[in-house]
Structure 1
Amino acid sequence: MLLGKTKTVQRRITTIVIATIGVTLVAVALARLGALVTLWDWPPLPSSGFGVLCGVVGGAIVFFEMAIVLRKRWRRWRLGRTRLWMRLHIWMGLVCLPIILIHAGFGFGGPLATVTLVLFLLVTFSGVWGLIMQQWLPQKILADIPGETIASQIDRLGEYHADEARRIVTGLTTVPPEAEAVDPIIGGPLAVELEAFRDDVLLPYLQRGSHSRSPLTAPAEAERRFARLREAVPPEARNDLDRLQELANLRRRWDAQARLYFWLHNWLLVHLPLSVAMTALMVLHAVRALKYW
């Protein structure tokens, strides 16, 4: 989710960092001001009236934050606009940070309270990290990866390009049956070398990308290999060599796109499970605290 269409990526990230720190400092300052006018003690105890109030408010915000999961699951109910939910999710999450810190008295309690607070901090910072990634990576993908494709289709397109590479090399090293009197464009040892390059180096890379461990993964090595082949083949075959190199370069860009998409989306694999675990422990912590309050 982008924070303002007219702002640069650097300004949006700066805004996120300043907002995170600023909201925390303002909330703590207000709580400190309340202590100065003797509304409550400082630092507040988790079991004090003010501490319990902060715990209840923080817990309510956590439940609201988790409600976005249900909202995504039942989108057909149309429970408000997605952009509004995300804005509320972000800002309420930032507000919740100082409230929970005040509730905890800026320290750790018993084992359950400690684990719950640590998980809460991890959830908050993973959320901020994910928000930062959403400001930076989409623009980087657009700027650095021309020919961006659907990430889930990369391997399928790689197979399609591998078939094209097979046809190109076969057309250079073999003669169609209907043209028996014509020699192939490339023959002899060079044809054997080109076919070996296709089968052992190029096709695995087009099909599996960086997972193939092909030397074509490295741009400099790929350039060196194609340059050597281009010098060895006849002039009429160089356009075909250029196309083979173009296919390899395209696969390399798609691999870069897949890596960026991993960082763009997979932070949720950390954020969401930690959120569920933290919420469960928070409920357990509240139940146990009520027994002794």
Structure 2
Amino acid sequence: MITSPIWLPATLIAGGLQAWRTAVQRRVGQSLSVNAAGLVRYLYGLPFALALLAGYQLLFLPAPALVLHISAIGFCAAAGLAQIVATNLMLMAFAERNYIVGTAYAKTEAAQGALLSLVLLGDQLSPLAWIGIGAGVIGVMILSTGGRPMGLGDFIRALGAPSARYGLASGLFFALTAIGVRRASMGVVTDDPISAALTILAITVALQTLMQGAWLLCREPDQLRAVFATWRVSGQVGLLSSLGSACWFTGFASAPIALVRIVGQVEIIFTLGLAHYYLREPLRRSEVTGLLLVASGVLLALIGAGRGG
């Protein structure tokens, strides 16, 4: 059920910010371990998340403090942990030789999220929205092949590969992250989805900083120094991550998860658009097909949302 129209601009902005953050984070990842690179996102994002919450409350909601149910904190912790696990599983899929299959199966997150939110949250979508989800997932899978010929049978046969298992598991945990965020936002007593999203964001990022930081302190203490040494670039990652997550969380708080995720796949369009027009990289025929499917999926999901919401 859509509770506010803010979900659409928030989701579109989130897709653009995520593409930008990923580009910047690649620079940091070259000098840090997997877990250290993950900590950068949360450690440097926490001050910005707190600043966003305080600034919004001060400027737009000069009202009494929000009422936060204790269950919301538990869901924040679960969502934060799920996101950490999902990111690590994605990196494990990338480490396998069959990078293409792992990436493609990870992008089934939208479909997995739709099914899970239907069962766990009772989110209802129109038939057009479901068709849009399917078109978007197929489009992303085509884009993940990088122009290499790979039919449906190839993907099915590759299901037993470690990269496929890691990819599917990554998509599952990313879907669980979204459900945790959505459920946590229900524990914030307010009529403003932005206020709820920023509150949940600040709590989640703080808990992720503690979880990932404790792991790094116990297992990779030498990487902590490297995390602080990269503060110039890491600060940019933290800012973009907090802004992007604020938009994602606003979308999750005000619209069905599957709808937010399928529209959020405009990130792919932004990424390939920058590669083509800014970096002058040519678009392959398969990439054009994938882009058209992703764009069609977004359009169908929006039309379906308009009819059902």
Q: What range is the shorter-chain TM-score in?
A: under 0.3
Instruction: Return the TM-score normalized by structure 1.
Output: 0.25
Name which structure has the greater RCO, CA cutoff 8 Å, separation 6+: 2
Instruction: Return the TM-score normalized by structure 2.
Output: 0.24
Whichever of the two has the greater Rg, that structure is: 1
